[in-house]
Amino acid sequence: MKNKKLQGNVRDAAFSILWAVENKQAYSNLLLHQTIESYAISNKNKGLLTEITYGTLQHQMTLDYYLEPYLKGKVEPWVKTLLRMSLYQIVYLDRVPAHAVVHEAVEIAKRRGHGGIAKFVNGVLRSVQRNGVRSFNTISDPYEKISIETSHPVWMIKRWAEQFGLEKTREMALENNKIPSQTVRVNRMQATPEEVIEMLESEGLEAVQSKWVPECLIVTNGQPAKTATFEKGFITIQDESSMLSAYALQAGPGMEVLDMCAAPGGKTTHIAEKMENKGHLFAMDLHKHKIKLIEETAKRLGHTVIETEVGDGKKSVERFGPEKFDRILVDAPCSGLGVIKRKPDIKYTKKEEDFDRLQEIQLELLGQAAQLLKPDGIMVYSTCTVDSVENRGTAERFLKEHPEMEKIEVALPKELGLKNTGFVQIFPQDYGSDGFFLSAFRKQASIK
């Protein structure tokens, strides 16, 4: 396949990202930023590029179902990627004229292939336009129907249905295909939410305060990370659900605190704010380049209480010694199935056999944290997934293996209105945020 890059061409740029995801297992969120720069995409077209890229990935299996009747014989993989991308625009984007989409698809086919492929692409897209897309009602199996309708693998739909029921599974899968909210956390050490809203408005952005987490703002236009408000440390980018970890931890001024799997630092810096930048907060992560991200964010926000360290959480007792910390956050490596809205390619790369391996890592980290925690200390286990095995299953196994630990109620903002007994599962459809799990434990003073 020939590759002639056209500066400023949104659809050529979107195709480049989608083909790299398909062909090289690249990450769409990382490629998007690189492609915007390399193609010199204008500010007014960045939104369209993002929408075409993520939308095509989100609806990939549905698009293949629509295309299947029109694809006879072998079709080159890159051509199928081009057809998916083009059909997504025709079916899902009302404001994009279909004739313009077809024209651009034909031009890309010519540049990257030859005239025969261009003719084939034109024929398929015009046939779909003429005949429409087929219904899901012909699919009799309920799991397969939701799978195709929402573009989630059948194994994932079945797994969720067993855990949560079919109705909740369908709601979650549909929510995963929506455009995620753009949220920022106000640095309460520097300003109030009201003051920051005014700052952003003065820079041409619109923001409203969340109904659920007081320091969370929902930004409805523009790029907050490109503002002076961001550069001066008044805000940082963070999803609303992940802001709950700092509440659950109940860290205060003067405490010894450990964030065991800290990168990229959103939760770490939030904890520092809850500590009023007083005490000692260790931020540990395996990777040096990720530690650098934490350091940069802490510096920008003005937090001096954070000490970063490259290290393996599974060896943290060896590093710190037992009963060192008042509070420990274990935001463990997980399947990430709560952030599909932001990383749609996760749906197609995860395998069911990953879960047992992940649970063993999670339990190992929690075991280390239990030893590191002082008597009467509190630790929080959180993940950005919705899977019951990784979440409640891991927490219950941990409690069974560590009688010195007791489950306690998870401290959360009162605005959420959640009553809980130590396990909190937030689904993407609950608040329009990421799927997230939280559990909290206290080390009993009388048991060692």
Whether 285 has a binding-site annotation, put simply, is yes
Contact by Cβ (8 Å): 405, 378:
no
| φ, ψ dihedrals at 340, nearest 5° | -60, -35
Whether 326 has a binding-site annotation, put simply, is no
Q: What's the Cα-to-Cα distance from 422 to each of 94, 114, 302, 431, rounded to whole Å? A: 45, 60, 33, 20
Whether 331 has a binding-site annotation, put simply, is yes
At residue 255, the 3 state secondary structure works out as strand
Half-sphere exposure of residue 375, counting CA atoms within 13 Å on the CB side?
5
Whether 266 has a binding-site annotation, put simply, is yes
Alpha carbons 164 and 339: distance in angstroms, whole number: 18
Alpha carbons 167 and 157: distance in angstroms, whole number: 11
Whether 264 has a binding-site annotation, put simply, is yes
| φ, ψ dihedrals at 416, nearest 5° | -65, -30
Of 224, 181, 14, 192, the closest CA to residue 101 belongs to 14
User: Which among 108, 384, 386, 426 is annotated as catalytic?
Assistant: 384
Torsion sign, CA atoms 403, 410, 436, 149: positive
Whether 267 has a binding-site annotation, put simply, is yes
Alpha carbons 209 and 196: distance in angstroms, whole number: 10
Q: What's the Cα-to-Cα distance from 342 to each of 217, 255, 435, rounded to whole Å? A: 18, 34, 11
Half-sphere exposure of residue 283, counting CA atoms within 13 Å on the CB side?
28
* 360 token code pair: 């063993």
Alpha carbons 214 and 244: distance in angstroms, whole number: 11
Whether 312 has a binding-site annotation, put simply, is yes
| φ, ψ dihedrals at 372, nearest 5° | -75, -20
At residue 375, the 3 state secondary structure works out as strand
384 assigned to active site? yes
Binding site listing for S-adenosyl-L-methionine? 261-267, 285, 312, 331
The set of catalytic residues is 384
Binding site listing? 261-267, 285, 312, 331
